[in-house]
Amino acid sequence: MTKYFADISSFQRDDLAFFQGLVNAGVQSVLIKTTQGSPDGDNYINPKSVTQVRNALAASMSVGFYHYFKASSIADSINEAKFFEQSVVNLGFGKDTPLCVDVEDPSLNTLLVADYVDTFINYLTEQGYTNVFQYSMASWFNQGILNANVHRTWVANYGVNACGVSGNVIAWQYTSSWGGGSQDMSYDWGIFDKQPAKTEATTQPTVEPEKPKVENTIKLTEKTHPVDRLGIERPETYEAGSTWKSSDIVMINDEPHYQIATDIFVPISKTTFKDFIIVKYTDGSLAPVFDSKGNRVQNASVSTGKSFKTDGIRIINGIPMAKIATDQFIPFEYTSGSKFE
């Protein structure tokens, strides 16, 4: 069975219910950000890390840590590695703890950053840590900024069918919107279970991952005036970041809207679902996929909980559908926020 893990920082919650919710959805492991930069630089320690660790362990999760990399020299790389190591020691974790260097900051020198990462990882390895790896977006590996063959590698690449990187790949962060929110989620091929590393030829999962809990909770991304069923703007205003329960998806003025009350609707384009969907279909059954002519696409059905980056809306045979691939569409009726059961 494919395993997967969440990664979190101070932006996520630290209460026990948050971690128990992950476990209930089948997520058994978590990487927690502890530090950023060095004592001479950002000098950042995640203020929630102690509580996040405590409650993750209370929920029986496996725990690892990551450091956000800002180094501008070899000496700085060592200082950052020491800063990160001390945070792990302070939290009471040992040498076999999963430890990651998060390499993505736009201020990094892309001509020299690979050397700095080598220094950071080599320092931790020399201290006896046995589960150290690097993280970045697929483009940095494919452009040669970082080398996925030199170190164990966790790749970020969204909206694709495979991680897109060859080498010593041990994990793939395949979404930043798992469960309908802003939660990252990754496939684990060798971090918490320490299995042999995968290559690109075998990176695509052979089975569906555990499904996130599909809920009809939507979140606004900007200040919004709702409308009624006729598209007439209502006087009240809802703030960005506010969340609502949707009971249906309705077309108003040629745009799909979530129904959040008897005659109150907000457009999908002003929610976190504006460019992705989560499939919501009958448990145990696969949701059908259609082409632009309304014909069902063979061998393209998808299961509940699977998420897709969408590329526009199409009305096909009078039914609003989200485009999920070239000439492949899924009805909004079969996505989070609808009344379909």
Q: Which pLDDT score is estimated for 216?
A: 76
Confidence of residue 187 (pLDDT cuts 50, 70, 90): very high
Mean pLDDT for 149-177 is 93
Residue 188: name the closest of 36, 35, 17, 61 by CA: 61
Distance, in Å, from the CA atom of 96 to the CA atom of 286, rounded to the nearest integer, reads 40
Amino acid at 48: K
- Which pLDDT score, from 0 to 100, does residue 285 have? 77
Domains located in the chain, CATH noted: 3-202 (3.20.20.80), 217-334 (no CATH)
Determine phi and psi for 310, rounding to 5 degrees: -105, 155
Nearest to 338 by CA among 255, 247, 264: 247
The residue that leads in pLDDT, 287 or 228, is: 228
- Condensed to tens digits (0 to 9), the pLDDT of residues 65-112 reads 999 999 999 999 999 999 999 999 999 999 999 999 999 999 999 999
User: What local confidence, expressed as pLDDT, does residue 202 receive?
Assistant: 38
| Residue 54 backbone class (left: φ over 0; alpha: ψ -120 to 50; beta: rest) | alpha
> Does the pLDDT value for residue 207 go beyond 90?
no
pLDDT band at 203 (very low <50, low <70, confident <90, very high): very low
Long-range contacts of 86-95 (CB under 8 A, 24+ apart): 87/34, 87/35, 87/45, 87/49, 88/34, 91/34, 91/49, 91/50, 91/53, 91/65, 93/63, 93/65, 95/127, 95/128, 95/129, 95/130
> What are the φ and ψ backbone dihedral angles of 126, each rounded to 5 degrees?
-65, -25
For the packed helices 113-126 and 74-90, what is the interaxial angle rounded to 10 degrees? 40
pLDDT at 288 (0 to 100): 87
Query: What values do phi and psi take at 269, rounded to 5?
Result: -65, -15
